[in-house]
Amino acid sequence: MLDSILVANRGEIACRVLRTARAMGLRTVAVYHHADRGAPHVSLADSALELHAEVPTAAYLDAAQIIAAAERSGAASVHPGYGFLAENGDFAAAVEAAGLVFIGPQPEVIRLMGDKVHARAFAAEAGVPLAPSALMEESFEAFLDAAAGIGLPLLIKAAAGGGGKGMSIVHDAADLEARARTAMSEAERYFADGRVYAERYVEQPRHIEVQVLGDGRGNVVHLFERECSVQRRFQKIVEEAPAATLPAELRARICEAAVKLATRANYRNAGTVEFILAPDGEFYFLEMNTRLQVEHPVTEMICGVDLVEAQLRLAGGEGLPWTQDAISVTGHAIECRVCCEDPARDFLPATGRARVLREPHGPGVRFDGGIREGQPITAAFDSMIGKLVCRGDDRTQAIDRAVAALGELTLLGVDHNIDYLARVIDHPAFRAGALHTGFVTEHADTLGAPVLDADARAAVVIAAALGVDDFRRLAYDIPEPYASIGGWRN
Amino acid sequence: MSTSFPFTLDGQTHSLTIRARRPALVVEVDGRCYTVSEDASGVPGESTLLIDGRPHRVARTRESDRVHVKLDRTTWSVAYEDPVTAAQHDAGGDDVLRADMPGVVVSLNAAPGAAVASGDVLLVIESMKMQINVVAHRDGTVENVHVEVNQSFDKGTELVSLHPST
């Protein structure tokens, strides 16, 4: 059993991991950049060490400083969260070389799955279905020929990629060369690795992924699937578990494929195998994420487990906490990613200050947040500031609860997608489970902000006017009492 | 008592005038009168607002010339310009395109002298790990491009200016 942990991350995931570690009685250590000194993860830990870097994100990417902080604080283990160094095999290796426990898979497994080309080859050997593809091996010209041979439409991706960077869909053969060159330059810029590959683009695909846990000795269990089909800019914004609709037989085959892949890799700790599901029921390996996923809470809510606790127990050498038979699904859960962005302007990231922040409450409602009221939202970090996760006895109840909770969730002072998320999950097509990764684009016309009638507009401007001193003074003779003015005074 | 306050919601400006304060507050919006009362909840920034007897849950915060409001289940940002700020803006115009956020210039699509239409992509920037198109907000002719490819800039930096509209 581990007795102490350093969480090498920030924001909601650092808070999430720290909470479970504390509940288990571990001594907890946070790290932070100066820009985050007032962030909640810093005060949640028993101790916190500052990382120094000019650019805030660089601090959380500085493996040497983080390992030094772990050694200085006496932490016995390191949890990487997601993003930053979570899928960096060299970091995992360096943590282990320092005599610390890396809470995640073996470094060589991280490297294998992090290279999309090698991961695909490995999946093929494991008997996991793959979409027809072309790799760039010898010349650019040979790659173009091979890619053209797959048939259109095509998806071009970075070999070292993730998160939609360096990704492009080609519908017209005439665009292939230009798109491939753009993808290569983006791949070079984001990942310092210009290799790309092309694969058949499945029209109206669904994104289905399987949560797995392994003990590193070839024993693997799955915790069923999640559906993450609702995306914008190739990034997920709404996830759910189980999938919206999935025949039992197909679900069993997808989960089995994930277990097969993880077993062959002697997978250790928590991981996720992602698949593309075509409308005809064929599914193809997409990639394996060798870490805890952003959307892990939906699995926790339907399986009644704490995945971080399982991670810590596995890392402490306890073996798999459950047999496959002991894992079952009850109910349905939906997660909405709360991002500071403007859905009306192509999801342009927004900056500002979280002047008012009120989290929702209620049965089956969980809010995994990572900012506190008053905190600035800068361009230095990812635009996601929290996740609303709701569980229901069935999908409809989970949606109803999430819609109500989004209505209650209040964030003022920075643009955000909270209202937009409510419109997405309350949309008839979402409620019907008619999902695919182009959902947001397909329904753009009906996902816009509602048009208000004159009385509704009047209510909004009256509510706003009462927040303006000049107006209040005339309305009430006196300025608003300090007790009800709120954060805007400070 | 007849001072009118302009509040702008999604580009449409509404004129608010206080018509009565007692026995109840009456606010006229674009010619229609509403009876208004508000009870602070005790939680800073939150209240219950009664408009013509209908209760609304309100949270709000003011930030310079905007009031951010959550009214019941939806979020709004309402612009309010006090007379002084409004006068300054009238002298300025909409010729300069500024950065909404810090970032780096990825590519430039417009050069001085180019005719552009509203919605044309003038440049591509990268910010918060995303590539973002910066588009012309009106038709016009580019007067000057103030940044170069790979240049970093802060929020508020002038990116492109258009010839003053005629």
Say what the ipTM of the complex is.
Answer: 0.86
- Taking residues B45-68, what's their average pLDDT? 93
Spell out where chain B has E strands.
4-9, 12-20, 25-29, 32-40, 46-51, 54-63, 66-71, 74-80, 96-98, 103-108, 115-116, 121-127, 130-135, 140-145, 152-153, 158-162
H or E segment to which residue A386 belongs: strand A384-392
**Residue of A460, A468, A470 to mutate, testing the B interface (most B Cβ within 10 Å of its Cβ):** A460
Mean predicted lDDT score pLDDT of chain A: 93
- How many CB contacts within 8 angstroms connect chain A with chain B? 182
From the list B116, B98, B108, the residue with the least C-alpha distance to B165 is B116
Question: Cα dist. B28→A206, B5, B76, B143 in Å?
Answer: 51, 10, 20, 44
Q: Which pLDDT does position A301 carry in this prediction?
A: 98
Q: Pairing state of beta strands A77-79 and A4-7?
A: parallel
Q: Which pLDDT does position B84 carry in this prediction?
A: 61
Separation CA A87–CA B132 (nearest Å)? 26
- Taking residues A410-417, what's their average pLDDT? 97
Separation CA B52–CA B26 (nearest Å)? 9
Separation CA A220–CA A324 (nearest Å)? 8
Which chain B residues touch A406 with a CB distance below 8 Å?
73
H or E segment to which residue A209 belongs: strand A206-215
pLDDT tens, position by position, B82-127: 766 665 555 545 688 888 788 899 989 888 988 888 778 899 888 7
Q: Which pLDDT does position B116 carry in this prediction?
A: 87
- Taking residues B22-47, what's their average pLDDT? 89
pLDDT tens, position by position, A20-73: 999 999 999 999 999 999 999 999 999 999 999 999 999 999 999 999 999 999
Separation CA A97–CA A88 (nearest Å)? 14
Which chain A residues touch B103 with a CB distance below 8 Å?
379
Choose the weakest-confidence range: A197-206, A403-412, A455-464: A197-206
Which CATH number is B4-86 given? 3.30.700.30
The residue from A206, A291, A401, A423 that is catalytic is A291
Domain B93-162 top-level CATH class? mainly beta
Does the fold of domain B93-162 match that of domain B4-86?
no
Nearest CA in chain B to A57: B128
Separation CA A311–CA A308 (nearest Å)? 5
Three-state secondary-structure class, residue B10: coil
Residue B101 and residue A450: Cβ atoms within 8 Å?
A: no
Q: Which pLDDT does position A44 carry in this prediction?
A: 97
Tell me if residue A291 is catalytic. yes
Residue B75 and residue A481: Cβ atoms within 8 Å?
A: no
If contacts are CB pairs under 8 Å, which of residues 414-443 in chain A contact chain B? 415-416, 418-419, 422
Question: Domain ranges in chain B?
Answer: 4-86, 93-162
Separation CA A422–CA A435 (nearest Å)? 16
Domains and CATH numbers, chain A: 4-103 (3.40.50.20), 132-200 (3.30.1490.20), 206-446 (3.30.470.20), 454-489 (no CATH)
H or E segment to which residue A411 belongs: strand A410-412
A224 close to A241: Cβ distance less than 8 angstroms: yes
From the list A149, A274, A127, the residue with the least C-alpha distance to A199 is A149
Does the structure show a pLDDT above 80 at A308?
yes
